[in-house]
């Protein structure tokens, strides 16, 4: 099988988020982020919110709040635990172990509008635009309709732009926000940085590998001269390239190729032809091997969010303590271009009769910056079952919490991931991106590895989009 046919298949498996088991968070699953839980203060100022029975809405005769989520519902379990006086029964339908398509089941329930339709539903990043601005956006309630002062709360929480972009409807209203920060950074080897540049300081290394891809390629050449690969495979940089585009794949119903995405053809070819990588595919054994120096050349770095450090790198670096394998020999710096990767956004059904109560729950998950809010607990490792600290979307929370982790040589990774998140954008996404990305990656591989000309690869990409999607292609 051609190498990139495998990448095409892997990409589809990783991105579609449907079918048996895809709703379970696991290392290497790019759009399912680690499960969470928490607690919920009612709407007050972001820093002073605490549970207060006096502000909890009274439950009407129908006192059941139905929630759909694609993973282990620990967020909502924690909410019930910490708010025993909340006057509603919370009924969570989790698809973590259900052998069915989550989005198909969600769509059917929203469309049917039965009594058990979800009042709150959780959607992964790959599908966000469908529910915020696409075919299913008609069911999403603007957060302001839940009794939330969005201008004040968003400012107080200092929510990263990409989170707002992804959760905004065509009328400019916020209909969904996330809780886990998935802005991406460059995760690199300290010892290799010292060998090539004489320092492992993140502020220095970020200027060696960026900004932009010309600096990245210059760094790749220097690394190669010392016997290192800058990344494991050329597809490692795709998520950063994809998320940095200024123009969506579809504009006014017409396929549009942003120049930055088009440039990935040439970036991939240079990385491949000049021997700047180990020529691996993401999420394969050979790719993981580079994290513990088991590949043909030592790999300098990977691109990913904080969950990548905790759920991918930590388990594959060949050790469990500093000095074992590559454990402790890593650091993070700002990436060549801003990007985010993964996350879940929280929606409220506009037909729910419990909007005030939904506002209490959603505010605690997405906008509460107090020490009893979900994001603070999440960032402090009090939610994750293994006690891992992971980034929050609130810059206010990120600046309150330190995450000095030993795998990164006790660097405070939150300082970098918060700044990196400010570089990312989400106004360049459409609800067709999963399929379009897969068609594009397949043709990039054909060109990068010499099986097609650049012009033929682009033509074949356009034909695939034309054959499979109801989009105008010129």
HEC assignment per residue over 227-296? CEECECCHHHHHHHHHHCCCCCCEECCEECCCHHHHHHHHHHHHHHHCCCECCCCCCCHHHHHHHHCCCC
Predicted confidence band of residue 61 (pLDDT cuts 50, 70, 90) = low
Predicted confidence band of residue 388 (pLDDT cuts 50, 70, 90) = confident
247, 428 Cβ separation under 8 angstroms = yes
DSSP characters over 399-467: HH---EEGGGTTEEHHHHHHHHHTT---TT--TTHHHHHHHHHHHHHHHHTTSS-HHHHHHHHHHHHHH
pTM of structure? 0.86
Which SS3 state, helix, strand or coil, does residue 328 take? coil
Per residue in 314-332, pLDDT (tens digit) is 999 999 999 999 999 999 9
Predicted confidence band of residue 59 (pLDDT cuts 50, 70, 90) = low
DSSP characters over 46-90: TTT----GGGSPPP-S--EEEEEESS--HHHHHHHHH-TT-SSEE
Predicted confidence band of residue 382 (pLDDT cuts 50, 70, 90) = confident
The CATH architecture annotation of domain 19-182+342-400 reads 3-Layer(aba) Sandwich (3.40)
Q: Can you give the pLDDT at residue 39? A: 32
Question: Domain locations in the chain?
Answer: 19-182+342-400, 185-339+428-468
Q: Give domain 185-339+428-468's CATH superfamily.
A: Periplasmic binding protein-like II (3.40.190.10)
More confident residue, 387 or 102: 102
Average pLDDT, stretch 357-365?
A: 96
Same fold flag, 19-182+342-400 and 185-339+428-468: yes
Average pLDDT, stretch 181-206?
A: 98
Per residue in 91-102, pLDDT (tens digit) is 999 887 766 799
Which SS3 state, helix, strand or coil, does residue 470 take? coil
Q: Can you give the pLDDT at residue 150? A: 97
Buried residues in 275-304 as b, exposed as e (16+ CB within 10 A): ebbbbbbbbeeebbbbbbbbbebbbbbbbb
| pLDDT, averaged across the chain | 88
Average pLDDT, stretch 275-284?
A: 96
């Amino acid at each position: 099988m051609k190498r990139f046919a495998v990448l095409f298949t892997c990409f589809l498996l990783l991105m579609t988020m449907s079918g048996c088991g895809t709703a379970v968070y696991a290392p290497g699953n790019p759009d399912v982020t680690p499960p969470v839980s928490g607690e919920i203060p009612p709407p007050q100022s972001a820093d002073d919110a605490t549970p207060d029975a006096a502000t909890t809405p009274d439950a009407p005769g129908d006192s059941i709040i139905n929630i759909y989520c694609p993973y282990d519902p620990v967020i909502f379990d924690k909410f019930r635990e910490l708010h025993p006086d909340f006057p509603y029964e919370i009924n969570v339908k989790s698809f973590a172990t259900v052998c069915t398509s989550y989005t198909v089941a969600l769509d059917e329930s929203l469309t049917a509008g039965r009594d058990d339709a979800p009042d709150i539903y959780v959607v992964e990043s790959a599908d966000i635009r469908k529910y915020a601005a696409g075919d299913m956006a008609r069911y999403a309630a603007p957060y302001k309709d839940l009794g939330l002062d969005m201008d004040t709360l968003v400012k107080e929480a200092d929510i990263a732009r990409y989170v707002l972009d992804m959760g905004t409807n065509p009328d400019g209203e916020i209909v969904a926000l996330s809780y886990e920060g998935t802005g991406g950074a460059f995760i690199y080897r300290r010892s290799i940085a010292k060998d090539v540049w004489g320092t492992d300081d993140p502020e220095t290394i970020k200027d060696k590998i960026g900004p932009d891809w010309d600096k990245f390629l210059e760094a790749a050449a220097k690394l190669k001269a010392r016997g290192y690969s800058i990344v494991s495979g050329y597809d490692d940089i795709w998520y950063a390239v994809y998320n940095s585009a200024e123009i969506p794949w579809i504009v006014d119903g017409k396929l549009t190729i942003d120049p930055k995405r088009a440039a990935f053809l040439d970036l991939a070819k240079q990385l491949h032809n000049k021997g700047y990588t180990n020529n691996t595919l993401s999420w394969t054994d050979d790719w993981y091997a580079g994290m513990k120096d088991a590949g043909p050349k030592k790999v300098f770095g990977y691109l990913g969010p904080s969950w990548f450090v905790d759920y991918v790198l930590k388990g594959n670096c060949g050790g469990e303590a500093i000095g074992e394998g590559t454990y402790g020999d890593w650091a993070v710096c700002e990436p060549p271009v801003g990007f985010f990767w993964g996350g879940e956004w929280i929606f409220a059904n506009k037909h729910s009769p419990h909007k005030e109560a939904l506002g209490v729950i959603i505010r605690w998950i997405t906008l509460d910056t107090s020490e009893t809010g979900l994001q603070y607990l999440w960032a402090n490792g009090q939610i994750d079952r293994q006690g891992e600290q992971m980034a929050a979307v609130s810059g206010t929370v990120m600046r309150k919490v330190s995450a000095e982790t030993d795998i990164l040589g006790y660097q405070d990774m939150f300082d970098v991931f918060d700044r990196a998140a400010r570089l990312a954008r989400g106004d360049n996404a459409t609800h067709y991106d999963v399929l379009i990305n897969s068609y594009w990656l397949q043709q990039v591989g054909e060109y990068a590895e010499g099986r097609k000309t650049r012009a033929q690869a682009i033509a074949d990409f356009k034909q695939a989009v034309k054959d499979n999607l109801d989009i105008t292609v010129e």
